[in-house]
Each structure stands twice: as C-alpha cells, then as structure tokens.
Amino acid sequence: MLTLLLVFGLSAASKADVITLVVKEDLASCTGVAPMNCMQVKYKNSKNWELFYSQIAGFTYKPGYRYVLLVNRTKRKNVPADASAYEYKLKKVLKKIKMKIPASANTAWDFVLKHKWKLIQMNGVTQKDSPVYMTFDGVQKRVSGKSGCNTFFGAYEKSDGTLSFHQMAGTMMACSEELNKLEHQFLTLIGDQTFKYDVAEQTLNLYQNNKLVLMFGMAPL
C-alpha cells in the first residue's frame, strides 16, 4: 500500500497541465542571461502579449505566423534563479495563420544581424570548437567571417525564408591539413548557393532539399 501511495504521489507531482498558448508572429527584444529575442505569447486570461523566456520542446517557430498551440506545461523542481519555473512541450498545433508583420517590428533576421554565428554542425557532423564563424552586415548586404585559418567575405541576398550567397572570396594563408579540409568543405557548401533558413532556439539553420546542411550557434560579437 505504501508503495502504491508513493507511486501515485510521484505521478501526481509530475503530471503536466495542458494549456493553450497563442504565439505572436514577431519576436521582441528581451534580456535573459544576455540580450536576445523572445517569443510573445498570450495565455487563456491574458489581455496583453507577454515575453516568453522558455523553449517549447517539439515546436519550431517561424516569424510571420501566429500560432495557437496546445502545450503540456510541467512544474520544475529545484529551479535555478535565471530559469523558468516550467517546462513546455508541444502537444498539438491548433492553428497556424499567416500574418503581415509591420516593417518596424523585430524579426528573426534582425536577431541574426545582431550576433556572430559559429559553426556547430556541417552535413550532420558536429563541429566541436570549430573556428568557423560568420556575421552579416544588413546595410551593405555583406557576409564575412572565418572559414578555418583564413577569412572569407562576399555578398548575400535574403528573401522570405531563403538565403543566398554570392561573390565569395577569401584570404589564402597556409593552413594545417585539418583546417584546409574543413575550410574547403565549408566554402564549397556556401559558395554561390541558396538555402532555406530558420532561427530556432538561438541557432541559425541552413537547409537544402529539406536537409539540414549547416547549423550555427549564437556567439558573442
């Protein structure tokens, strides 16, 4: 009987609440551990949009769409001071509605422009402590960064959900065999190529033929 009571108690404590969240079509500037962009949400009784500092497991946010989500919300134990009191997991997307975003609104691309993006995965292979990174100049429409031991630079074009690289060039310093291999593979992948992209959980992801080709993690400038 005691065992049954303990099991029941643990199950009750870990049971998730099912809630409905409305997610706004644009991100907003917020400050967590560092300045970042957050989703804006409304709960059942919300009158105004609220900043959402957590992640929703299983949900990929795309700017320009308003979502109505059914979400499992679980109370966390021993919560760190800078963390959310809850964990969220997507149960179902109830609605996904295309919205018109005002020109003045912050977008996922505004978030990309504010940060340096370090390579963390290439063709499915994790890049541990990779020296490769890139940054974007939104005014000049230029991209630059490090491809290994050399620097690279070029032009980019961005449209709705796609990112293209053009006129790529770089310095020609001598590198180790390992860096030469990394550099060649990276520059071949992005040279005069067009990708679909998204920004999810502070990663910049580039896709071709529905396959994740390059993943970059946010890094300090």
Which whole-number Å values give the CA distances from 62 to 23, 107, 108, in the listed order?
Answer: 10, 10, 8
pTM: 0.56
- How confident is the model at residue 22, as a pLDDT? 96
- How confident is the model at residue 13, as a pLDDT? 45
Q: Give the residue among 127, 134, 166, 126 at the shortest CA–CA distance from 150.
A: 134
- How confident is the model at residue 1, as a pLDDT? 47
Which whole-number Å values give the CA distances from 199 to 106, 151, 168, in the listed order?
Answer: 13, 24, 23
Q: Name residues whose C-beta falls within 8 Å of residue 146's C-beta, 6 or more positions apart in sequence.
A: 131, 132, 133, 134, 152
Along the 221 residues of the chain, how does pLDDT read in single tens digits? 444 444 444 444 457 899 999 999 888 777 665 556 788 999 988 889 998 988 899 999 988 899 999 999 999 887 766 667 899 999 999 999 998 766 545 577 888 998 899 999 999 999 988 999 999 999 999 999 999 999 999 999 998 789 999 999 999 998 899 999 999 999 999 999 999 998 876 889 999 998 999 999 988 76
The bridge status of strand 194-200 relative to strand 203-208 is antiparallel
Burial of 12 (0-12, 13-18, 19+ CB in 10 A): exposed
Q: Name residues whose C-beta falls within 8 Å of residue 66's C-beta, 6 or more positions apart in sequence.
A: 22, 23, 24, 25, 95, 96, 97, 99
**CATH second-level architecture of 108-219?**
Beta Barrel (2.40)
Q: Give the residue among 70, 67, 32, 69 at the shortest CA–CA distance from 51.
A: 32
What are the domain boundaries of the chain?
Answer: 2-98, 108-219
- How confident is the model at residue 103, as a pLDDT? 54
Within the chain, residue ranges assigned H as helices are 2-14, 108-113, 177-190
- How confident is the model at residue 78, as a pLDDT? 79
Q: How many CB atoms lie within 10 A of CB 218?
A: 20
- How confident is the model at residue 58, as a pLDDT? 94
